[in-house]
Amino acid sequence: MRVYWEDTDGGGVVYHARYLNFFERARTEWLRALGMNQSVLAREHGVVFAVRRMEIDFRQAARLDDELRVGAQPVHLGAARVVFEQAMHRAADGALLAGAKVQVACLAADSFKAVRLPAWIRQKMVENMEQETR
């Protein structure tokens, strides 16, 4: 991901709230890499994911034109929630810019009430978690 002018304040430093956007995109792309498109999940499987809680540790400033590497890795699966650990690094020097712990709830697309993670989604996530620990 690249930092654009719209992501920064007048001094070219990424505005703190924009980190949420970068972390959200990384989780979305992580799901996509597992074959789960969020609009298809909502439309065909009746589930959506919503952030319930997020804790961010800002380490260094991201700046205009920085290329960022942002990861997302699930570290805990509950009945209706997934906890991700995320890290944002500057590609040029590998510097850790921010870390996040994000709790995401699985909701029914029509009512926005918590529902259990569908078994096939849970299985894909478990397989990914096991792959990452090898």
Q: Catalytic amino acids?
A: 9
Q: What is the DSSP string of 3-59?
A: --GGGB-TTSBBPTTHHHHHHHHHHHHHHHHTT--HHHHHHHH-EEEEEEEEEEEE-
- Any idea how long the chain is? 134
Burial class (CB in 10 A: 0-12, 13-18, 19+), 12: middle
Q: 3-class SS at 74?
A: strand
Contact 118, 77 (CB under 8 A): no
Other C-beta atoms closer than 10 Å to the C-beta of 49 total 20
